[in-house]
Structure 1
Amino acid sequence: MPAAVRNLPPVVLIIVIGVLVGISFALSKIAAMAGVPPFVALFRQLLVASLLLLVVGIATGRRLPLTRRHLGYYLGAGILGVSGPALIGYTVLSHISAGFYSALVTLSPLFTFAITAVVERRMLPMHRLVGILVGLGGVSIATQSGFDHDGTALVWIVMAMAGPLLLASGNVFRSRAYPPQGDPMMMATGALLSQLVLIWPVLALSGAAHSIPSIAAGPEAAIIGVGLITAASYVLTFEVQRRTDGVGFAQVGYFATLSGIGMGALVFGESIRPVLMISLAVLFLGLAISNGQVKRPTQLWGQLLTLAARWIPGIRGHPGAR
């Protein structure tokens, strides 16, 4: 890890990771819309990312730890943080918009709070419980009217929600299982290689391996791009995880959502409805409450209603919008 990156504050790295994740959603959608089988796309993504990190690791004299603890960490972090979410993304992004999928990623921090409470066997503080409920309200607004869902089956929306659930589980797992003095680059390399080893036999047994050479240039370039982003973002992910906990890292969801919605509008011409801005404001309010950044939610809620009144005339009659 370059000294310049190690010296950056975690919040800067979190923003960079979020932006990269949003871009990767758009690239994944290109592959999904081209009909590339999810396991084939994931294999190519893992191959690019693993080889890149392995070459860099060898060139810099690093060694991949292979203790039982490290192997368990690679496997768990890889399944929860890499393969699971990627397979879901490649599967659902041919049916839902990149912007909507990005909005759902904001559930990841809220799920992280809840899973942490279950794992640590303690009740959530009241402000975090309130924040989760407010955040779920924001997701409900986005799901109901923030995007154009005409012709989208409910199964794809439900499946898409499994993505942030796996990401949240990965946040908690990495926070609790991170090996002492672990090198972020080698931790990322091990996690990606473990998934490459898992995916190859599945791909071979499914008979989908024969379609790998037939991928068109555009989708193949998109998958390579996702692989490069995967390599960079997971090195940064493990660096942040080394310096903070799963709850802190979960704030990547803020920036992944904004980046993904922007890329969806820019690349695919996805419309951004005014009500979506309201749902995102509610989502971020929920996260801010859960983080303890908002001490008086009712006061900020009035400000949000005032903002909403500028977009939706029907809200003007609400007392909080005066």
Structure 2
Amino acid sequence: MSESTNNNSFYKRHTWLVPLTCLLAGGALIGISTNLAKAAGQIGLSPLAFLFWSITGAAFLLSAVAILRNDLPPLTVRSLEYYSVAALVSVAGSNLILFSAIPQVGAGFVALIIALPPLLTYLGALFMRMETFNVVRAMGVVAALSGVGVLAIRKFSAPDASIFWILLALCGPVLLAIGNIYRTLRWPNAASPSSLAPGMLIAAAIFLGVVGTLPNFSLAVPTGALLPIGLIVLQAFIFAGQFLLLFLLQKTGGPVLLSLLGSVGAIVGVPVAIFLQGESPPEGLFLGASLIALGIVLVTWGGVKMIVIPDNTHQ
């Protein structure tokens, strides 16, 4: 076997490292983000104001990076449609729902339900023929979903459960799954992840800004203290990293691996909510978290096998 063939084989066998790294780092940022949203509410920042200013800051940061790299967001009819729809379902709509639900159902529960999109994304990807059926990956998706299901059922059965807010919170993962499919299907030709991320965030900031002009909504930030500003700045950097990693994972790992960002976010976000936010551990936490972790391993391993097996057939 030639040296070039060996190098090519090595590259194919290790292409999973990039999406796996993006998955773990991006998921960790999501877990931290949900807890920051709760902290923001505790110091008087409304979910809409916190989300709007954080997204605006993240859009500024990623736009600055795009300018420095001379990789500006494309401005075509296709890309403008992409920014608008992706911003609505993947950023503005889903995050506003989840951030608004956190004071009602807890940061730990929200961190857990954002692990729900894998099944919806996987089924959608199969239906759209974007993904070939793989038994290992299917088992992983079912395991992750089962873990979240255990925790959600226990939450519904709690004596102080708010059915309305639990159901509303569950709409967030549905929008995230729709976004996972849409962004893959409509990815503008020849566009890079680092150019699309700021375009989507700018569109999301515009949507949220319009909502802020409606009656009973406000974008006001409490004055007289540095903590609200500090939280917004921190969240802006987290959003910038989170959405840049999201687009990189979208490009390198596909929609199903992308959907597991929420599962990693759950594993990170729940311990933070318990130990730093003082929340009570959700009922069934050990079983649910174990199933979610198993799902991540199986879906990732299934993806590795899909890369390696075709390579072996040509030797």
What TM-score, normalized by structure 2, do the two folds share? 0.80
Q: More deviation in 213-222 or 250-259?
A: 213-222
Structure 1 residues without counterparts, runs of 5 or longer: 1-5, 294-322
Letter in 1 for 2:52: F
CA RMSD of aligned residues (A): 3.1
Aligned partner of 1:226 in structure 2 is 235
Q: More deviation in 190-199 or 146-155?
A: 146-155
Aligned partner of 2:194 in structure 1 is 185
> Are residues 286 and 52 of structure 1, via their aligned partners in 2, closer, same or farther at CA, if it must alter by over 3 Å?
closer
Letter in 2 for 1:237: L
Aligned partner of 2:112 in structure 1 is 103
Q: More deviation in 140-149 or 151-160?
A: 140-149
- SS for the counterpart of 1:51 is helix
2 CA distance for matches of 1:257 and 1:243?
22
1:74-85 aligned at under 5 Å gives the runs 74-85=83-94
1:81-92 aligned at under 5 Å gives the runs 81-92=90-101
Aligned partner of 1:315 in structure 2 is none
1:1-322 aligned at under 5 Å gives the runs 9-120=18-129, 135-145=144-154, 149-206=158-215, 208-209=217-218, 211-212=220-221, 214=223, 217-272=226-281, 275-285=284-294, 293=302
> Is residue 49–residue 219 contact of structure 2 (8 Å, CA) maintained in 1?
no
1 CA distance for matches of 2:286 and 2:280?
12
Letter in 2 for 1:244: G
Letter in 2 for 1:189: P
> Are residues 22 and 255 of structure 1, via their aligned partners in 2, closer, same or farther at CA, if it must alter by over 3 Å?
same
> Are residues 49 and 139 of structure 1, via their aligned partners in 2, closer, same or farther at CA, if it must alter by over 3 Å?
same
> Are residues 98 and 148 of structure 1, via their aligned partners in 2, closer, same or farther at CA, if it must alter by over 3 Å?
farther
- Give how far 1:183 is off: 1.9
- Give how far 1:235 is off: 1.2
> Are residues 139 and 232 of structure 1, via their aligned partners in 2, closer, same or farther at CA, if it must alter by over 3 Å?
closer
Q: More deviation in 257-266 or 60-69?
A: 60-69
Structure 2 residues without counterparts, runs of 5 or longer: 1-14, 303-315
Q: Structure 1, residues 153-173: CA drift from partner, whole Å, max 9, x if none?
A: 111111111122111111111
Q: Structure 1, residues 266-307: CA drift from partner, whole Å, max 9, x if none?
A: 2212233673111222344456666775xxxxxxxxxxxxxx
1 CA distance for matches of 2:52 and 2:201?
10
Q: Structure 1, residues 203-251: CA drift from partner, whole Å, max 9, x if none?
A: 1233644633548533332232222111111112112212221012122
> Are residues 106 and 81 of structure 1, via their aligned partners in 2, closer, same or farther at CA, if it must alter by over 3 Å?
same
Q: More deviation in 148-157 or 240-249?
A: 148-157
- Give how far 1:35 is off: 4.2
> Is residue 197–residue 244 contact of structure 2 (8 Å, CA) maintained in 1?
yes
1 CA distance for matches of 2:72 and 2:234?
26
> Are residues 111 and 220 of structure 1, via their aligned partners in 2, closer, same or farther at CA, if it must alter by over 3 Å?
farther
Letter in 1 for 2:284: V
- SS for the counterpart of 1:181 is coil
- Give how far 1:73 is off: 1.1
Letter in 2 for 1:114: L
2 CA distance for matches of 1:245 and 1:215?
45
Letter in 1 for 2:105: I
Letter in 1 for 2:161: T
Aligned-pair identity (%): 28
- Give how far 1:133 is off: 5.3
> Are residues 278 and 205 of structure 1, via their aligned partners in 2, closer, same or farther at CA, if it must alter by over 3 Å?
closer
Letter in 2 for 1:240: L
Letter in 1 for 2:270: I
- Paired residues in the alignment total 289
2 CA distance for matches of 1:184 and 1:122?
21
